[in-house]
Structure formats: structure tokens, C-alpha cells
Amino acid sequence: MTFASYNLHPALLQALQNKAYTQPTPIQQSAIPQALAGKDVLASAQTGSGKTAAFAIPILQQLATQTLRSPRRTLALVLVPTRELAMQVGEVFKQLAAHLPQTVQITTLFGGVSINPQMMRLRGGADVVVATPGRLLDLIDRNALHISHIDTLVLDEADRLLDMGFAAEIERILSLIPAKRQNLFFSATFPSAVQRLARALLHEPVRIDVQPSIQQLTDIGQRAVLVDEPKRTQLLRHLIEQNKWTRILVFVATKHAADKVAAKLRKARINAEPFHGEQSQGKRVQVLADFKAARLTVVVATDVAARGLDIAQLPVVVNFDLPRSAALYTHRIGRTGRAGEQGLAVSFVSHNTQAHWQLIQKRQDIDVPLDIALGFEPQDAPLEVNFSNGGIKGKRPSKKDKLRAAAQSTETPAPVSL
């Protein structure tokens, strides 16, 4: 199947060709025909699957066949959870709309920067608005934008929108747009809050669930290392230096952890920066630019901030803290091993998180045995482990086991060779 089979406007086909989009990805194959037919869509797909184009192409196809008026009315609204995702989605729209016969005004709105330039850009109206909910409502309250003529509403990364506490803002936005509209709903995971929102928002939606292909998964080497929590930063430093990793995305659970881990790595002379929602927009833009240009070795990010990060040729992802859900595990590790390249995902597992790691493996139908890195043996290692970095594989007694054995024998136990 090719994009031409969708009877798209020639200018859209030209833009796709310029971006080297040769054929639709699985999410695009499933979502584009349904969206072009005007149906509501409820879709799940991993990061890097091409879902932005899956909703941008139908919206631009619709605009390409309409007569756009001046002042412009906003006909499509895309809600996203973070500034980085807003910029990324807006850029995809602009690239795809570049050759359309009539100019499509695409405006990206987000907080963390001055509102005045955004108000100026909206003076002539906008056909497509990509926005974070808070800044969108700020501009509506200042009478800089009206959304009463929306034909299409997109919620991108809906689970993150709710996780970040945007439920009230979304409810207010829904009250301001027409009840009769097309809804395109994309979410990485579907917790109960997202399901409730989908039921209230969508009308007879087409459900699309695209999982990573076997090839995508085999392109990602997965490793789990059992380590005491206080030694995780030391282990991360050791792995970076030993393997000569040049670019690593590290996931942590909190903003405080991102700051702390990045600071410890810098003390060890590893070029690292945190990436989270409490940083200024300028700082986040600089960190992302430095990481893409390989001026940074490590970015330590929270899940929420990392939504929207699109890093080509990212060789390594490290789960410093395990993700909260099994689905998020797939989305995290899917940031490496893209476009047929080999990637590596390393997860740190402590005794407190072993049960959660087992649950992730069960729900993702994977089997990643625990390793123990030499020199980073945990206080109470399980009997069955793999000793990495040239060690032995097999049974190793824990310290408690050794103490029990010593109490039962007058002989000095032989040391375990690692």
C-alpha cells in the first residue's frame, strides 16, 4: 500500500515524498482511511510509530479541499500534554502543508514563554492550532482565539494529558467547541480515566491498537540488572564508561530524581542534564538541541517531559526507575532500535521492584533474566542470576546464605570467584 492509494492531494503526496515517507506505517494504514471517512478514531500506538502523520494527513487533506477564509477560523485543534510535543506536532503539520496551493496557517501554543508573541501570531486567525490546554485557555480568555468552529479535535497522548492534571481544562475546552465534530483520540495507554474520557468524547469510534512488530522488538536488546537502589547511579556511570556509550536517555520517576542523577553524573565528569517540566522552556529547548547534536551524553528525563522527544539514532535507553505500567515499558524502550537500527534497553531492578519487574515481563510476554554486574552485587542476591561483564553464570549464595553456612560449619567457606 502507498499513500497515493488514499487519493490524497498531489501537494500532500509531494510533501510526503520530500520527507522520504515511502509507505504508510501500520498506525497510518489503519487510522488514515477511517479519519478520511470522517469517523471517530480511538488509537493506541507506540512512540515513533508515525501517529502524528496519521492524524495530520487527514486534517490537511480536508483543508486542501476547502476554501479558507480570512480572517481564518480554527478548524482543527490538537491538544498535547507538553511543549516539546506541541513543537514536534506543529513542525510535522508545517512540513506536510508546505506545498498546498493555499496557505494553511498552523499555530503552536504552549506555556513557559511569553504569551504576547503568540497573541500576535493569532491576529490573522489560524486554521490548525496545536496547543497545551493551559495556554490555549489563557489565549481564549484574552479573546485572542475562538474555537467555536472546530471540525476536528485531536487528543494526542491522552493518558499524559490526564496524568498531568488537565482533566478540568479539557472539560472546559470541550464546552467551547461544537458538539458535532470529528474526534481523533490517541493514547499510549488506556487506564480507567482515559477509558471514561473516550466513552464520553467519542461517537461509535473505530478502535485501532498497533503493537510493535516482531522485527522492531528484535532490534532492541533488553537487559535487566539487579542492583541495590543506592548503587544505581554508580552502576550507570560504570556502564557508560565501560561500554563507551555516547548518547543515553535515562528514565526516572520524579523531577527531583532527574536533577539528582544528572548532578551526580556531572560530578563524575559525564556530560549530563535533567529534562523535566519545572525547567524553563529555554533550558529544555537547549537540552534537547544539545542531545540531538551529541553535545550531551546523558539526558535524565521523567516520562511526562519525555513525551514528544524524537531522537534519531538513539542507541541506549536506561530505566533507572521502572515504569509504572507494562505498557509504558514498551513505549520507553521503543525510543531506541528505530528504523532498523540496533538498540539497547537496560532496566535497573532492586529487591523492592522485583515483583513489579516480573509483572512487566508477564504482561509484555518477555523473558529478560536478571544480571548482576561484577562489583555491584546486591546485599541479598537471588540464587539464580547471570553474572555479567565476564563473570560466571549460575548459583551464588547471598550473604545471608553464607552466614547460615558459616554457622553450621567450623570451616571457612571458600570465596566465590567473580
The string of pLDDT tens digits covering residues 213-261 is 544 555 789 999 999 999 999 999 999 999 999 999 999 999 999 999 9
The count of residues in the chain is: 418
Q: Of 58, 119, 113, which Cα lies nearest the Cα of 86?
A: 113
Is 187 a residue whose pLDDT tops 90? no
| Cβ within 8 Å of residue 244, ≥6 positions away | none
What are the b/e assignments for 126-154, b being 16+ CB within 10 Å? Answer: bbbbbbbbebbbbbbeeebbebeebbbbb
Provide the whole-model pTM. Answer: 0.72
Is 405 contained in some domain? no
Q: Of 119, 52, 56, 113, which Cα lies nearest the Cα of 85?
A: 52
CATH of the domain at 234: 3.40.50.300
Is 403 contained in some domain? no
Asked if residue 229 and residue 107 are part of one domain, the reply reads no
Burial classification of residue 193, based on how many CB atoms lie within 10 Å of its CB (0-12 exposed, 13-18 middle, 19 or more buried) = middle
Mean pLDDT, rounded, for 133-156 = 95
Asked if residue 225 and residue 205 are part of one domain, the reply reads no
Asked if residue 197 and residue 225 are part of one domain, the reply reads no
Asked if residue 318 and residue 264 are part of one domain, the reply reads yes
Asked if residue 136 and residue 20 are part of one domain, the reply reads yes
Q: Which of 194, 210, 226 is the last residue before a domain boundary?
A: 210
Is 316 contained in some domain? yes
Answer whether the bond into residue 191 is a cis peptide, omega within 30°. Answer: no
Asked if residue 321 and residue 251 are part of one domain, the reply reads yes
Asked if residue 307 and residue 361 are part of one domain, the reply reads yes
Number of domains in the chain: 2
Burial classification of residue 188, based on how many CB atoms lie within 10 Å of its CB (0-12 exposed, 13-18 middle, 19 or more buried) = buried
* Neighbouring-strand partners of residue 300: 250, 274
Is 327 contained in some domain? yes
Asked if residue 309 and residue 228 are part of one domain, the reply reads yes
What are the b/e assignments for 323-339, b being 16+ CB within 10 Å? Answer: bebbbbbbbbbbbbbbe
Least-confidence region, from 55-69, 126-140, 203-217, 322-336 = 203-217
Asked if residue 199 and residue 218 are part of one domain, the reply reads no
Is 406 a residue whose pLDDT tops 80? no
Is 127 contained in some domain? yes
Q: What pLDDT, in 10s, does the model give residues 248-305?
A: 999 999 999 999 999 999 999 999 999 987 888 788 889 988 998 889 999 999 887 6
Is 364 a residue whose pLDDT tops 80? yes
Is 377 contained in some domain? no
| Cβ within 8 Å of residue 59, ≥6 positions away | 35, 76, 93, 128, 152, 154
Q: Of 79, 96, 197, which Cα lies nearest the Cα of 140?
A: 79
Domain that holds residue 135: 3-210
Least-confidence region, from 124-138, 358-372, 382-396 = 382-396
Q: What are the grid coordinates assigned to 380, written together?
A: 541479598
Asked if residue 192 and residue 268 are part of one domain, the reply reads no
Reduced to 3 states, what is the DSSP secondary structure of residue 210?
Answer: strand
Mean pLDDT, rounded, for 35-60 = 89
Asked if residue 255 and residue 158 are part of one domain, the reply reads no
Is 115 a residue whose pLDDT tops 50? yes
Site of grid cell 458538539: 179
Mean pLDDT, rounded, for 355-367 = 90
Is 364 contained in some domain? yes
CA 174 to each of CA 134, 137, 199, 202: distance values in angstroms, whole numbers, following the listed order = 13, 11, 14, 12
Q: Which of 210, 234, 265 is the last residue before a domain boundary?
A: 210
| Cβ within 8 Å of residue 145, ≥6 positions away | 74, 122, 126, 129, 136, 139
Q: Which of 169, 185, 210 is the last residue before a domain boundary?
A: 210
**What whole-number percentage of the chain has pLDDT above 90?**
54
Q: How confident is the model at residue 386 (pLDDT cuts 50, 70, 90)?
A: low
Asked if residue 294 and residue 222 are part of one domain, the reply reads yes
Is 395 contained in some domain? no
pLDDT at 66: 84
